[in-house]
Structure 1
Amino acid sequence: MISQNTIAQVFETARVEEVIGDFVQLKKSGSNYKGLSPFSEERTPSFMVSPVKQIWKDFSSGKGGNAVTFLMEHEHFTYPEAIKYLAKKYNIEIEETQRTDEEKAQADARESLYLVSEYANTYFQRILHTTDKGRAIGLSYFKERGFTEETIKKFQLGYSLDEWQAFTDDALGKAYKLEFLEKTGLTIVKEQKHFDRFKGRVMFPIHSMSGRVLGFGGRILTSDKKAAKYLNSPESDIYHKSKVLYGLYFAKQNIAKEDNCYLVEGYTDVIQFYQTGVKNVVSSSGTALTPEQIRLINRLTNNITVLFDSDAAGIRASLRGVDLILEQGMNVKVCTFPDGEDPDSFARENTLEELTVYLQENTKDFIQFKASLLVREAQNDPIKKAETIREIVNSIAKIPDPIKREIYIQECAQIMDISENVLFSTLAQINKKEYQDANKKYKKDQRAFEVVRNEEVARPKIDIQFELEQKIIQILMLYGNREEEFEDLILKEDEVSGDLILEPVKQAAKVFEKIYLDLQEDEMQFTNEGFKTLYYNIIDRLHQDEQFSTKDFINQLDQNLASTVTSILMEDEKYNLHDWHRNNIIPKGKEDTIAQLVSQTILSLRCHLIDKKVAEYKEETLKEDANSKTIIEDVKDYLGLKMLLSRKLGKVVGGQAVK
């Protein structure tokens, strides 16, 4: 187990904006940062990070927390794994007590898959660097590809011996279970026999965005025509090839920095580009590009440059991936290499300066590239040219931004020498068909929904007490230790007219003391158990610690309560997502009216509780044995109190007494 000293040091050192910035492109928004949600598909940012409070909130999914909870949610880490990851990131030495056999046995299956994969990665690297066969075969191959020793170690490249059970026997000898070796795909089990999947291959470990080994790609070095040239790990609980990009772990910071991502096809393309000095590069690892992979890039940048080799057939097939990128609302450019060249060979044969200049001079907007490619194929055939134009317009139709669509239509008209009106008409036809198809689906879904809706109960009303209790927790967390001047309104008789008036009496107090005393005075209790627990925890901490820290308090709560507090604290931040200040709409900050906010919240809670009490009395009058006279007198008393409180509330909110 990790010592408390290490955990405290991690929480003290880790910065939530730095940790999340490794996974999501964050942009400054006032005192906060915002970005696209890493937990849902969206084009408008709903993800907010607060450096001051050291918390984050994703308004699209409802998730929130601190740096540790982000890693647990995004990377599916356990709590100890998240602490270890942060310790490594910030160079904090981990003090750890020895785990017992029972604790090891309790590790879940998912973690076991990670452990097996990490061990395999270490094993393949050891074979590559320390054995005669590894150096003679595997290391020689990498050196022939032009990879330096530094690059080989950076990407953790390895070698699997050309023996049937070398790796599996070694892993079993280290007490790793055959069950997990099989589930990761490292070992193939058939009829009581087992053998290595990657036998005789150089190994490319595939990392998650945080650097955990998810699976492997292996390249065969023999000329065996029956064996696949490249072999990937099969799908598992930790490896889903459609949701992973090779090299993203190494490229993520450079992608965000350069605000562009180069997309290539293979492992060696990525490594060669990185070694040459172009580090914002990833690969789909030979699989067809998927929306999930595109969204991974979209968290870091809105710009993708797709790099193709000179193989025309391969380019044609890859254009489908470009349409997927357009559908996600991203900006796409394309660059091809000279005949006989691919990204790997071109980077190997050129300096960084030469590679950079080539990319700058030969990168085209997707519409220019697609048009020139398809025009060459159509040549002078008018029917093929018409099909080409329709195909280009089909791609433009996938772009969600209407302004971009119009610009591309104008550009296409110039390139293809055709009227803009014809292209706009074609685009309208395509959009109409898509609309009709979508409308049919919508109507079908609606018919199914009607059946369900007819059986639904009425939507519950807003829980006013829940909202007010939540507001009290928020005020205590944000301003509990602040001293404010509160204005209480005392009911007095006017000496001249004899009427009852509200006379202000001012008194200085800390916010938490004012709230505590007001709630105690009327014996008001929280009805939400989570809020009740938080309320007494916060009050206790504020009584004891004048240097109360929101960050420290959250870090010491269990995950459920920590998530609740984060949601409460970030509730108001969602309005900053809409750039109100840019539109000259300036919401009044709570800091300017803390005393007013406290008084308003407490008075509102009192009024609400009176309404509940009156409703209860009304229910009592319906009972046969009810003492109606007594109940009516009590109701009158409560209504009188409600009127008084409403007058006070009117004074607090608007400065005018409620008549």
Structure 2
Amino acid sequence: MSRTVDTIKEKLSIVDVVGSYLKLEKAGQNFKAKCPFHNEKTPSFFLSPVRNTFYCFGCGEKGDIFTFVEKFEGLDFMGALKVLAERAGVPIIREEKGERDSRDRLFREMEEATLFFESKLQGNTEAFEYLGKRGVTKETISNWRIGFASDSWRDLFDHMKKKGWGEGELEAAGLIKKSDKGYYDRFRSRIMFPIADTSGRVIAFSGRIFGKDDSDAKYLNSPETPLFNKSETLYGLDKAKLSIRKNNFCILVEGQMDLILSHQAGFTNTVAVSGTALTRSHLTILRKICNRAILAFDSDSAGFRAAVKSAEIALRMGIEVKIADLPGGKDPADLVKDNPEDWKKAIAHSRHIIDFLLESLFKEKPSARKLAEGVSRTVLPFVSSLESKIEQSQFVAKIAERMSVHHDAIWEELKKARSFGDLPDNQKGFTPDRAEKGEGGDKKTHRGYIERRLTSLVFWQEHLGGDPMIVENIRKRVREIIGEEQLENLVAELAPFKNELLFEAEAYFGGAEGFEHELADLLKNLNRDHVKEEFGKAMRELQEAEKMKDTVRAMELLKRCQELSKQMNELSVAK
């Protein structure tokens, strides 16, 4: 297996792989992008073509092409290996049969069950005709691998046993259940929709009742298994991810038929939740590939509440949210079946969540007091969550106009509104722009940032193995400013972060052409900050000496303060 991994790494560069997921910008010898693993405005995610690795200065994520695909796609190592091997055109050669672990066997088990259900659908005319009446074409049935589970209690069980799977394995995969009388199929008399992971491997099923009374649940989903976590799985993402990335928005629906028919109508950037409400984990996955979402949930009150709750979570995470208002109380599947153009219009005319909520309030024709309460409680928290002050102003103006009140009244209420987007400081990562403003670095100071940069330069030059005089020159110039002891303490303090600092130096200093200029700027700024600190220290000591009536000491400190003040003025002029 190690030979396969090495071959893939030789054929695929970190830039090619990550560049197929993210928009990259050249940054010296490296590349940068907005990190897909945390929310940020300024790119702090860097790729090193030389090292064939990535590192994010904001959240600390790092690794190679396998690590990236695992995390981005939500796969295990074997899943990432499959994706990258196919891309590189490298066959996966197993060096030992024992490498097929239980997880890999589970995937093969789910694939066999999918093939079985597919074959059963082909032999069931009624189920096939039902799908046709719902508007599902033969091509869509094939593409989505829709199948059928018969009403037999042990149909799948007997088939899988013949294929070599044991009861424990089948139960672990969620395909069978156990009663006092023995094992039986979990899914019976149901149209089966396979749920895949982001690389297209089947991990679960959702079965819609067919040919029985309505006493059983309309939809039955697989239980959570080692492969399937419903709170982290979006149905259809394997087929939708490229379209979502291309269009920079996704359409979110609730049901399997909604999803399939939306894709059939040409909206291939549609995904669905699987047997659960939309979660933060779902949105974390989506935020990696887009920052806009259209929610197209059912038109009933439950669908409305689900849309509002989902929009609240999405806004907290920096995702722009629109709501598709579905006409006639129909769900997306019925809308597509009856008239695909109506579905297209609903998506095209989707409205920002704030517009949608405001319009919903006015539809109820409430009293002035009820309207004011509704706006304050329901609408303004969403307005407060907007990052753009211009957008906030536009919505404040719109709300004021609709309510026939002055803008100032809305602004006052807005100050009281809790923003869904507020994040505690410890969740905000280090990024280059924050560092430039003196917010980065271990000491959370401008000087801390400069010292970090200079130390990264020392580590980098040592790593390059070039002229040792360059390293000694940097050390000497820093030593002249802060002293030998402080320099050694600084290097020791940052030594545990050496690998990150090496990458940081490569990212910021790249080629040699700008190296000396950057070094001079850093040293000048370090000197300026050092003199300011010394001046502050001398002033405090002067005040203490005057307080103690120590005239001699006070005169010495006064002279020291004057000298430092002169140095500060000279350094300011030297800008």
Normalised by the length of structure 2, the TM-score is 0.70
SS for the counterpart of 1:85 is: helix
CA 1:259 to 1:568, structure 2 compared with 1: closer, same or farther past 3 Å? same
Check 1:315–1:121 CA distance in 2 against 1; reply closer, same or farther (3 A cut).
same
In the alignment, is the contact (CA less than 8 A) between 2:381 and 2:418 conserved in 1?
A: no
Match runs of 1:40-51 below 5 Å: 40=38, 45-50=43-48
State the partner residue of 1:115: 108
Question: What is the SS of the residue equivalent to 1:164?
Answer: coil
Q: Which residue of 1 aligns with 2:354?
A: 367
State the alpha-carbon separation in 2 of the partners of residues 79 and 473 from structure 1: 34
| 1:273 matched to 2:259 | no
Distance 2:498 2:85 in 1: 25
The secondary structure found in structure 2 opposite 1:418 is coil
1:571 Cα deviation from its structure 2 partner:
2.6
Answer whether contact 2:175 2:187 (CA < 8 A) is retained: yes
Distance of aligned partners of 1:433 and 1:291 in 2 relative to their CA distance in 1, 3 Å threshold: closer
Q: Distance in 1 between the 2:107 and 2:222 partners?
A: 13
User: C-alpha deviations, 1:408-465, integer Å up to 9, x for none?
Assistant: 2222222333332222222222349999x999xxxxxxxxxxxxxxxxxxxxxx999x
2:401 to 389, 414, 419: 414
Gaps of 5+ in 1: 440-461, 490-527, 532-563, 576-587, 598-659
Distance 2:72 2:181 in 1: 38
Once residues 592 and 380 of structure 1 are traced to their aligned partners in structure 2, the CA distance between those partners, rounded to angstroms, is 68
Residue of structure 1 equivalent to 2:169 = 180
Alpha-carbon distance between aligned partners in 1 of 2:380 and 2:516, rounded to the nearest angstrom: 60
Partners in 2 of 1:177 and 1:591 — Cα distance? 63
Compute the displacement of 1:260 (Å): 1.5
Aligned 8 A contact 1:266 1:283 in 2: yes
Measure how far apart 1:371 and its partner are.
0.9
> 1:387 is matched with which residue?
373
**Counterpart code for 2:256:** Y
1:37-116 residue pairs with structure 2 within 5 A? 37-38=36-37, 40=38, 45-50=43-48, 54-74=52-72, 79-90=77-88, 92=89, 94=91, 96=93, 99-100=96-97, 102-104=98-100, 107=101, 109-116=102-109
C-alpha distance in structure 2 between counterparts of 1:80 and 1:290, whole Å = 26
Q: Is the 8 A contact 2:383 2:392 kept in 1?
A: yes
1:278-337, Cα deviation, whole Å (9 max, x unpaired): 111111235222122122221111111122444355224422222222222221222212
Equivalences for residues 311-326 of structure 1 within 5 A: 311-326=300-315
Contact 2:382 2:419 (8 Å CA) reproduced: no
Q: Is the 8 A contact 2:203 2:228 kept in 1?
A: yes
Distance 2:77 2:306 in 1: 43
Q: Aligned in 2, Cα 1:93/1:313: closer, same or farther, shift over 3 Å?
A: closer
Determine if contact 1:256/1:301 at 8 Å carries over to the other structure.
yes
Report the Cα distance in structure 1 between the residues aligned to 2:421 and 2:17, rounded to whole angstroms: 41
For residue 128 of structure 1, what is the aligned residue in structure 2?
121
Moved over 6 A (4+): 432-435, 466-469, 484-489, 593-597
Structure 1 counterpart of 2:347, one-letter code: L
Question: How large is the Cα RMSD of the aligned pairs?
Answer: 4.1
**Unaligned residue ranges in structure 2 (runs of 5+):** 426-450, 473-491, 519-575
Render the CA deviation track for 1:19-52: whole Å, top value 9, x for unaligned.
Answer: 4456x543435452413333x5666654333456
The Cα shift of 1:397 comes to 3.0
Shift of 1:230: 0.7
After superposition, the Cα gap between the structure-2 partners of 1:308 and 1:487, relative to the gap in structure 1 and judged at 3 Å, is closer
Query: 1:98, CA displacement in angstroms?
Result: 7.6
User: Do 2:149 and 2:188's aligned partners in 1 also have CA atoms closer than 8 Å?
Assistant: yes
**Residues 158 and 203 in structure 1, CA contact (< 8 A), matched pair in contact too:** yes
In 1: Cα distance, 2:388 partner to 2:173 partner? 42
Cα offsets for 1:148-189 (capped at 9, x unmatched): 222222222222222112212222322223323222322212
1:361-383 alpha-carbon deviations (Å, 9 max, x no partner)? x2222222111111112x14233
Q: 2:198 aligns with which of 196, 209, 220?
A: 209
User: How far is the alpha carbon of 1:81 from its aligned partner?
Assistant: 4.4
Deviation string for 1:478-519 (max 9, x for gaps)?
A: xx8xxx998999xxxxxxxxxxxxxxxxxxxxxxxxxxxxxx
Taking a change above 3 Å as real, the CA distance of residues 19 and 347 of structure 1, as seen in their structure-2 partners, is: farther
Contact conserved, 1:329 with 1:401, CA < 8 A, in 2? Answer: no
- Matches of 1:53 and 1:86 in 2, distance apart? 18
Offset from partner CA, 1:229-252 (integer Å, 9 cap, x none): 011112233322122211111111
What amino acid is the match of 1:392? V
Deviations 1:384-403 (A, max 9, x none): 22222122113323445555
The residue type equivalent to 2:504 in the other structure is E
Aligned equivalents of 2:76 and 2:352: distance in 1? 43
User: What is the CA distance between 1:358 and its match in structure 2?
Assistant: 5.0
2:512 counterpart of 1:591: yes
Alignment of 1:610-625 (within 5 A): none
Contact kept, 8 Å, 1:304 with 1:331, in 2: the verdict is yes
Q: Partners of 1:62 and 1:299 in 2: how far apart?
A: 16
The Cα of 1:254 is off from its aligned counterpart by: 1.0
| 1: CA distance, partners of 2:266 / 2:347 | 13
Q: Are 2:285 and 1:296 aligned?
A: yes
Over 3 Å counting, the alpha-carbon distance change for 1:595 and 1:119 in structure 2 is farther
Residue in structure 2 matched with residue 26 of structure 1 by the alignment? 23
Question: Is the alpha carbon distance of 1:311 and 1:475 closer, same or farther for their aligned partners in structure 2, counting shifts above 3 Å?
Answer: same
Say whether 1:426 aligns with 2:413. yes
Aligned CA distance change for structure 1 residues 154 and 43 (closer, same or farther; 3 Å): farther
| SS in structure 2 at match of 1:224 | coil
Shift in Å at residue 227 of structure 1?
Answer: 0.7
The one-letter code of the counterpart of 1:140 is: E
Q: Please name the residue that 1:244 is paired with.
A: 233
Corresponding residue SS for 1:339: helix
Q: Distance in 2 between matches of 1:164 and 1:488?
A: 75
| AA of the residue aligned to 1:154 | N
Instruction: Summarize the Cα distance change of 1:93–1:67 in structure 2 as closer, same or farther, 3 Å threshold.
Output: closer
Of residues 224, 229, 235, the one that matches 2:218 is 229
Size of the aligned set, in residue pairs, is 470
Q: Does the 8 Å contact 1:3/1:96 carry over to 2? A: no
Aligned partners of 2:39 and 2:317 also within 8 Å = no
In structure 1, what residue type is equivalent to 2:57? F
Question: Radius of gyration: which is bigger?
Answer: 1
2:460 is equivalent to residue 471 of structure 1: yes
CA distance in 2 between counterparts of 1:190 and 1:417 reads 65
| CA shift in 2, pair 1:280/1:596, >3 Å | closer
- From 380, 391, 403, give the equivalent of 1:404: 391
Deviation at 1:220, TM superposition (A): 0.8
Q: C-alpha deviations, 1:120-147, integer Å up to 9, x for none? A: 2333223333xx23xx244333222222
In the alignment, the residues of structure 2 paired with residue 409 and residue 468 of structure 1 have an alpha-carbon distance, to the nearest angstrom, of 49
Q: Structure 2 counterpart of 1:246, which letter?
A: Y
| Cα distance change, pair 285–149 in 1 and its aligned pair in 2 (3 A) | same
Q: Residue 570 of structure 1 aligns with which residue?
A: 503
What does residue 642 of structure 1 align with?
none
> 1:37, 1:45 within 8 Å by CA — same for their partners in 2?
no
Give, as a single letter, the amino acid of the residue that structure 2 aligns with 1:83.
Answer: L
CA distance in 1, matches of 2:165, 2:498: 41
Equivalent residues of 1:157, 1:205 under 8 A apart: yes
Describe the SS at the equivalent of 2:261.
Answer: helix
